[in-house]
Each structure stands twice: as structure tokens, then as C-alpha cells.
Amino acid sequence: MPQAQRAPARVALLGTGTVGRAVLERLTAWSGSSQGGRLSLVYAANSRHALGGRFGLLPEGVADLLQHEGQPSRLSAVELALQGGHGPRIVVDATASEEVALNHARWLSQGIHVVTACKLGQGTSLERWRAIHAACAEGNTRYGDSATVGAGLPLIRSIRELRAGGDRIHAIAGVLSGSLAWLFNHYDGLRPFSGFVREAREAGYTEPDPRDDLSGEDVRRKIVILARAAGVELEPGDVDVASLVPAELARLAKADVDAALPSLDQPLRDRFADAYKNGGKLRFIARLEHGKARVGLESLPADHPLAGGAGTDNRVAIWSDRYSRQPLVIQGPGAGAEVTAAGLLDDVLRICG
Ligand SMILES: NC(=O)c1ccc[n+]([C@@H]2O[C@H](COP(=O)([O-])OP(=O)(O)OC[C@H]3O[C@@H](n4cnc5c(N)ncnc54)[C@H](OP(=O)(O)O)[C@@H]3O)[C@@H](O)[C@H]2O)c1
């Protein structure tokens, strides 16, 4: 059937923060285009306000309307808002909400597709991950997860396509955090590491509390998602994570963290000096090898495939049957609202068919 004849998908957007706003901007830019005609935004919400529009909302006005005319936000309203029409029903999760992630399996089992940037659905317990997959089978629905790792870079998709083509995945290694990529692309061992952390935070590359990045916990979730896509069903606790946050810094209240950041300086200076002596470069690497995963700082030869890249680039090497000597290497911006929103909406369009 030509695309113009398909009923448009009904879409509910959850989250109007950095990524959600970029989704709205992309939808606005699609107005009058073939992509725009394939879907209708019928619901938008943040944690406070929600707005429904049976015949579709104009994406450019949503943020303002939510503020001034929104109803109290309730996740139980999502199903009702998506009712009607003959096209697919899709929830786009642009939150970091555990409560929203807990609803993924329920929506999927009810015939509502889920597209998500949030790692709390697939990157936490195996029990939750298995429930999501069982719910897709039950509801004949799809789970769009391209934006959960690498902000929409074709990472998860390439792993799945290699396996669908009969390859076994032998190993995966990569720089999976945009903020840690930026930090170690810039750290020169001369100026204090804490200064680079503050600069990265001010530029919006790190979380407001940089310990969330430096602890490696975000990378733990990402390697768990990639491992499961590769057929290795790990629990998050199976991943050996070497945090960069010293124990005393980890214990501090959020308000005291900034003043204590210099406690990072000496340990990082020592690591840098060791790497430098051997011509190496420090990179924060996640690895999956022989069914085991680990995350931490490594010194790599300067010409190593994972030592390059610029800015917040992610860079991932995948070894498989066909790429057994030279890995497939995928590199590109692995953070940022625009690429993440594009990754989300690519998944939405794939579901629209
Ligand atoms: N930023 C990036 O570059 C990037 C890249 C890849 C993936 N991601 C992922 O994308 C997600 C969103 O990131 P972000 O940077 O956009 O975060 P953000 O700016 O903090 O926005 C989060 C949004 O979620 C809303 N929210 C929270 N609980 C909700 C609920 N129960 N119902 C509806 N909305 C709810 C918040 O509402 P309020 O406005 O009321 O607080 C806020 O609008 C995260 O999971 C993040 O890990 C982000």
C-alpha cells in the first residue's frame, strides 16, 4: 500500500526536557512533509502537566500550552489519549523516569509500541528486560531502543543485523559516554582534571552531578543493553565497573561535590603519567569479551581504533564471525538532544512502516 494511504500513527510524547523539546522541534520542522503526514501527536506530558488533542496537537505550541492549559500529568491517561484511529499507537519516552519505564511492558502487551531514550527499561534487571520482550510478543508490538545507546548511532541495530545474518558476536569494546569521551579527549595531564570536569558540566556534557558520569553507572547500563542485543544476558551486577569517583567523594552530599572535585586530580594525574610514559592515551572503555563485561579507564596505544574520535564522539568496535580480524567500527556524536530526537523519531517512522 502506498504510504499516503496508511492511517497516521497516534503518538504520545512523555518528557519535554532537553530531548523532548528537540523531538517537538523536529516534528515542527516536519510539518507538511511526508514524514509529518505519517504520524499525529495526540498527547504530550512532562512530570507536572499533560495535554491531549484527539485530532492532533501542533508541536510548536505544545511547550507553552502545557504550561498554561495543561492538566495534571497522570500516566494512566496515556492509553485513553491514544485511542481511536486505525494507525499504530506509539509512546515516545523522553524521560529518565523509573515510573515511566515500569509501564513499558504494560503498554507493549496492550498493543501500544514504545520508543525510548531512557535506559531504565532495557538496561536494568534481566527480569524487566525479559518482561519487555515477552510483552512485545504478547501485544505484537515493537520496542524502539536506538536512542538508548549512542544517541541513535546504528549500534544496537548493527549488532542485531549481524546476528540476523548468522554471525556470532565475539566481542564489543567502546567509548559509550559522550561526557567521558569529551573529558579524556581534552585532559592533558597538565591542568587539573577537576577543571575539565567543571568545564564539561558548564557545557552541559555531564549530568548536573558529575559523579553520575564519573561513576561509570551510565556506561554499565549501556554495555548491558549492547550485551543483551549480542545474545549475552547479563545482569547489571555482572559488569565489573571501575568508578573514577574516590570513596570519600562518593559519600558527599550533592551540594558539597563541587568543592571536593580536586580530590580527582592526583589519581588522574598519576594514571595519565603512566599512560604517557608508554605512549598511551587514556580512554573510558566498556568491554564485552568471553561473556563477561567490564567498564573502566584504560591506556590504549595512540593508533588503537578506540583512541581516536573528537568531542563527545562515541566509538565502538564490534568483532563477529565476518569481522574477526578487523572489527567493524562505528563512530559519531553519542550525546546531544538533536541526534537523540532524530534516533527516537527514526524508530517511530520504522514502526509507522
Ligand atoms: N540529553 C541527551 O543528550 C541524551 C542522549 C541520549 C539519551 N538521553 C536520555 O533521554 C532521556 C531524557 O533526557 P533529557 O536530557 O531530556 O532529560 P531532562 O531534560 O531531565 O527531561 C526529562 C523530562 O522527563 C519528564 N518526566 C519525568 N517524569 C515524568 C513522568 N512521570 N511523566 C512524564 N514526563 C516525565 C520531566 O518532566 P519535568 O519537566 O516536569 O521535570 C522532563 O520534562 C533520559 O533517559 C536520558 O538518559 C539523553
DSSP structural state of residue 132:
H
User: Domains (ranges, CATH) in the chain?
Assistant: 3-153+338-352 (3.40.50.720), 156-333 (3.30.360.10)
**Residues with Cβ within 6 A of ligand 1?**
14-20, 45-48, 73, 75, 94-97, 99-100, 117-118, 147, 151, 335-337, 340
pLDDT tens-digit profile, the chain (353 residues): 444 568 999 999 999 999 999 999 999 999 999 999 999 999 999 999 999 988 899 999 898 899 898 899 999 999 999 998 899 999 999 999 999 999 999 999 999 999 999 999 999 999 999 999 999 999 999 999 999 999 989 999 999 999 999 999 999 999 999 999 999 999 999 999 999 999 999 988 888 899 999 999 999 999 999 999 999 999 999 999 999 999 999 999 999 999 999 999 999 999 999 999 999 999 999 999 999 999 999 999 998 989 988 899 999 999 999 999 999 999 999 888 999 999 999 999 999 98
Distance from Cα 68 to the centre of ligand 1, integer Å: 20
Residue 200 has a pLDDT of 93
Distance from Cα 13 to the centre of ligand 1, integer Å: 11
CA 151 to ligand 1: nearest atom: 6
CA distance 154 to 30: 22
- Paired residues of 91 in beta bridges: 12, 114
**Could you count the other beta carbons within 10 Å of the beta carbon of residue 11?**
31
Selection from 25, 18, 200, 196 nearest residue 94 by Cα: 18
Q: In one letter, which amino acid is 222?
A: K
CA 97 to ligand 1: nearest atom: 28
Residue 3 has a pLDDT of 47
CA distance 230 to 211: 29
CA distance 321 to 163: 10
Selection from 144, 118, 150 nearest residue 316 by Cα: 150
CA 337 to ligand 1: nearest atom: 3
Annotated binding residue at 19? yes
Annotated binding residue at 20? yes
Which of 13, 18, 24 for a ligand 1 pocket mutation test, highest count of atoms within 8 Å of Cβ? 18
CA distance 187 to 270: 13
Distance from Cα 190 to the centre of ligand 1, integer Å: 36
Q: Would you call 222 a catalytic residue per the annotation?
A: yes
Ligand 1 atom 5: the closest Cα is on which residue? 335
CA 119 to ligand 1: nearest atom: 45
Beta strand 313-320 with 71-72 is unpaired
Q: Which helix (H) or strand (E) holds 269?
A: helix 265-277
Which of 21, 47, 149 for a ligand 1 pocket mutation test, highest count of atoms within 8 Å of Cβ? 47
Ligand 1 atom 30: the closest Cα is on which residue? 47
Q: Is 47 exposed, middle or buried (0-12, 13-18, 19+ CB in 10 A)?
A: middle
Distance from Cα 317 to the centre of ligand 1, integer Å: 28
Q: Which residue has the cell 497522570?
A: 74
CA distance 82 to 11: 7
Ligand 1 atom 41: the closest Cα is on which residue? 47
Distance from Cα 180 to the centre of ligand 1, integer Å: 20
Annotated binding residue at 119? yes
CB-CB contact of 293 with 225 (8 Å): no
Selection from 176, 175, 172, 177 nearest residue 288 by Cα: 172
Choice among 222, 254, 281, 292 that is catalytic? 222
Ligand 1 atom 15: the closest Cα is on which residue? 18
Annotated binding residue at 141? no
Angle between helices 62-69 and 18-29 (to 10 degrees): 120
CA distance 350 to 121: 20
